Structure 1
């Protein structure tokens, strides 16, 4: 409500947003394509900050040096509403994702500035490489347990010597899971066990021979177990300002296999 009182209309990236009626004029082809791509990237069961950040990043990249970010929160709210449409607690999920408490704010500008500040923080942690050493986290899973190794990347993007390694057996409950879920858990456990041992981290590249795990790190997953495991790992990295990405490798190239 505070944002609705800030302005009557907002022209953002070619879209005129009427804050009174909530209507948005049809955007240009360029903007429509970007929003379609952003929606695909933001697919998930719940509306979480990581998906909002990725969506915001795509929209911001459309026009370098956009004169104003005032339309971004409103546009994001509209474009991410579809994510939780099938969720029974959709309103609650969307409210939680934006951390809205329902309390009255003293100033509309304060609300907008807080939203923009939060979005900038999320985008910078995920979408921009940070200064510092680059590492490769290689993980794998089997029927017996999981293993993970951390390598240092050279300036030519080649893996160096092994720095840290970890391996553990599955619990009886974890052993009952499908192999794709165990692969996702291996990446999550590898992150939790090995990344804290590194003195300084600029970026982490996950190497996994599991396509569902790599996809979940990039775009989220509709499978609850895989989604939870990927979210735990990526949220841990993003909260520490560590740039992360995921790459699929052949099983024969995975030394942990």
Structure 2
């Protein structure tokens, strides 16, 4: 088995998909997104982090502490809400993100669902089609739909291909979405998924190879510009086929002491 074949972490994170959706929006819709203080999403590029690198990092995460530890060189990085906000260009909201259960009523939940063989579900492609063809959507509905797609592809992707309707409680008013602490919620989601991955990987029997799907914005753990954030994971010659291990470089304004 090659090194590439031995990678078991799988992710549905897709900045590419969000990039393509944004590209197809009208200028009026783009202006609306900017007005709601989410203009950074209009500049999202097509990028991804190598799955082998992500698995290497996740294996060395302490989810309870929110900390990366590399015992080989005794390096540690404590991830914080502020780091996530800087890395993703998020507004610095402070209101706790409202999570609603699938049993709680929402005036918008059914709007995003479509019929499947085993019931009604809310696939990303259904919401994306609304954005592409929904010229009749009012501004509030358009932004709510766009943000759900941004959550599903970029900020908090799950292990399926569904939009996260549990966040509808924070999307009632478009102008207030920026007031929520999305950096904190995204970080919490990343650490929860890292914990789940570690437990599933540990539970695999010796010699048994099985892909494990992981949700959340995992790339936030891997790459960022050192001038923009107080830390950076550097991979100078990383390739999935290579046996060379990535290493962590800490910058002068490191806040992880």
TM-score normalised according to structure 2 size: 0.24
More strand by share: 1
User: Highest CA radius of gyration, 1 or 2?
Assistant: 1
TM-score normalised according to structure 1 size: 0.24
